[in-house]
């Protein structure tokens, strides 16, 4: 069981690592800090609740079941962090946000102190690593401790459910999807973890044994609920960045034919290499290198080649824009062939400005690359004629 719990804690905690991929920037954002704090505390709850951790804590402290108030206190801190996260996510005037955060801390801080105090007052001499909630359900002080930690966690998760339902009606897109994931995770926690715990404890109060709900049903439901909540918190912040990287990778690959044609004329510094270099960075290097190469090939641009290709494209029924791109691709291919053959630049090179240099971003370069692939001029400048030491 401990291995499964540790695995859930690791997966849960990895989302915080992803959000902190740029620590200097992230730590200045209260929303990112509160998100990471909630995720880290949630991971620590899992770690602390694992039987192996409980046994180790009990042995190191010399106090039987000391891992219980540690876990319950950590769970209460996690519940408080969820409320703080929702407060930052909702936003509002800074003074109001600060006041609500302090109120949450004022509610859960004393709760943690009371949990530890009740454990100290109770008699928990028999070590229980998996069924402490039900084993001590009727023990003085420990009974109150168990009930308090459950009520504190229930208050936070039910508040989350209400707020998620309310806010999901006011937002759209990824934020709504994230809120729905948080709602699903919270409901799973309420039904699968809390209700199972309450039922097992109340059964003990009435002399019945439903410990299996507390020991076998509640832990996996809590793990799954926490993972859904973490996905909901991370999704709206991470998915746009992932989409941007996917688009960059797509454009990087689509610029391959253009780079293969013009790389000889590029004098840009060699880009850093390594698997850790993200697609956006790779695309930026390729874009800069291509623009640098286009400047180097400008003395070889021939208006006659461009005009012939333009006329042919128009006769073929292409639109004015498509014909322009096709003509520029033909002129570029001819210039690349001349440069690769080390011919002299034209005495009067073209003064035409490529469409790809008139627009921002990579869209113009991608159009030019696609035109090169389609152009019959590609055969006049095979890729093998252009070599370079970097790409």
Two structure tokens written together for 304: 């006659």
Please tell me the predicted confidence (pLDDT) of residue 389: 36
Q: Which of 170-184, 199-213, 332-346 has the highest mean pLDDT?
A: 199-213
Please tell me the predicted confidence (pLDDT) of residue 267: 66
383 has a pLDDT exceeding 50: no
Section 96-125 average pLDDT: 93
pLDDT digits (tens, 9 = 90+) for 363-376: 999 999 999 888 74
Two structure tokens written together for 138: 């009727």
- Contact 64/58 with Cβ under 8 angstroms? yes
CA 344 to chain centre: 52
Q: How confident is the model at residue 388 (pLDDT cuts 50, 70, 90)?
A: very low
Please tell me the predicted confidence (pLDDT) of residue 381: 42
Residue 109, phi-psi category: left (phi > 0), alpha (psi -120 to 50), beta (remainder): alpha
Q: Which structural domains are found in the chain, ordered by start?
A: 2-244 (1.20.1070), 255-385 (no CATH)
**DSSP label at 299?**
G
- Indicate if the alpha-carbon torsion angle 12, 220, 114, 136 is positive or negative: negative
**25 burial level (CB within 10 Å; 0-12, 13-18, 19+):** exposed
Q: At what angle do helices 195-205 and 142-168 cross, to 10 degrees?
A: 150
- Contact 157/188 with Cβ under 8 angstroms? no
Rounded Cα gap, residues 35 and 206, in angstroms:
40
- Contact 52/2 with Cβ under 8 angstroms? yes
16 has a pLDDT exceeding 90: no
Section 265-276 average pLDDT: 64
pLDDT digits (tens, 9 = 90+) for 328-353: 999 999 999 888 888 888 888 888 99
For residue 240, give Cα distances in angstroms to 1, 49, 85, 244: 36, 34, 20, 6
- Indicate if the alpha-carbon torsion angle 110, 113, 115, 118 is positive or negative: negative
pLDDT averaged over every residue in the chain: 85
What residue spans of the chain are helical by DSSP H? 2-19, 23-26, 30-49, 51-61, 67-90, 94-121, 132-135, 142-168, 173-188, 195-205, 211-212, 218-254, 256-262, 279-297, 303-315, 320-340, 363-374
pTM comes to 0.70
Section 95-107 average pLDDT: 92
pLDDT digits (tens, 9 = 90+) for 227-247: 888 788 778 877 888 888 899
Section 271-285 average pLDDT: 77
265 has a pLDDT exceeding 80: no
Please tell me the predicted confidence (pLDDT) of residue 351: 85
pLDDT digits (tens, 9 = 90+) for 306-333: 999 999 989 989 999 999 999 999 999 9
CA 212 to chain centre: 36
Please tell me the predicted confidence (pLDDT) of residue 386: 42
Section 354-362 average pLDDT: 89
Section 174-198 average pLDDT: 92
How many C-beta atoms surround the C-beta of residue 102 within 10 A? Answer: 11
């Amino acid at each position: 069981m401990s291995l499964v719990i540790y695995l859930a804690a690791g997966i849960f905690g990895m989302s915080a690592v992803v959000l902190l991929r740029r620590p200097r920037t992230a730590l200045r954002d209260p929303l990112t800090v509160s998100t990471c704090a909630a995720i880290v505390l949630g991971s620590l709850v899992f770690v602390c609740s694992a039987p192996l951790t409980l046994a180790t804590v009990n042995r190191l402290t010399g106090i039987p079941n000391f891992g219980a108030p540690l876990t319950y206190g950590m769970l209460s801190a996690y519940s408080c962090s969820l409320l703080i996260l929702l407060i930052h996510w909702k936003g509002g005037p800074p003074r109001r946000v600060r006041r609500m955060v302090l109120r949450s801390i004022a509610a859960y801080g004393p709760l943690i102190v009371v949990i530890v105090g009740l454990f100290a007052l109770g008699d928990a001499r028999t070590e229980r690593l998996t069924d402490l909630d039900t084993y001590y359900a009727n023990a003085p002080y420990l009974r109150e401790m168990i009930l308090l930690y459950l009520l504190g966690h229930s208050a936070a998760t039910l508040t989350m459910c209400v707020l998620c339902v309310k806010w999901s009606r006011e937002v759209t897109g990824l934020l709504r999807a994230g809120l729905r994931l948080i709602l699903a995770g919270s409901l799973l926690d309420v039904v699968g973890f809390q209700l199972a715990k309450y039922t097992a404890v109340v059964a003990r109060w009435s002399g019945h044994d439903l410990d299996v709900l507390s020991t076998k049903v509640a832990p996996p439901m809590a793990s799954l609920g926490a993972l859904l909540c973490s996905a909901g918190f991370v999704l709206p912040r991470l998915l746009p960045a992932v989409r941007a990287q996917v688009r960059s990778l797509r454009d990087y690959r689509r610029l391959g034919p253009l780079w293969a044609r013009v790389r000889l004329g590029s004098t840009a510094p060699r880009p850093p290499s390594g698997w850790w270099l993200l697609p956006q960075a790779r695309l930026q290097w390729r874009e800069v290198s291509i623009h640098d190469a286009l400047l180097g090939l400008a003395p070889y641009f021939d208006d006659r080649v461009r005009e012939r290709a333009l006329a042919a494209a128009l006769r073929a029924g292409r639109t004015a824009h498509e014909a322009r791109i096709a003509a520029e691709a033909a002129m570029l291919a001819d210039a690349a062939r001349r440069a690769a053959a080390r011919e002299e630049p034209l005495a009067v090179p073209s003064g035409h400005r490529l469409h790809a240099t008139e627009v921002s971003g990579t869209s113009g370069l991608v159009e030019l690359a696609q035109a090169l692939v389609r152009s019959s001029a590609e055969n006049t400048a095979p890729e093998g004629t252009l070599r370079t030491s970097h790409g």
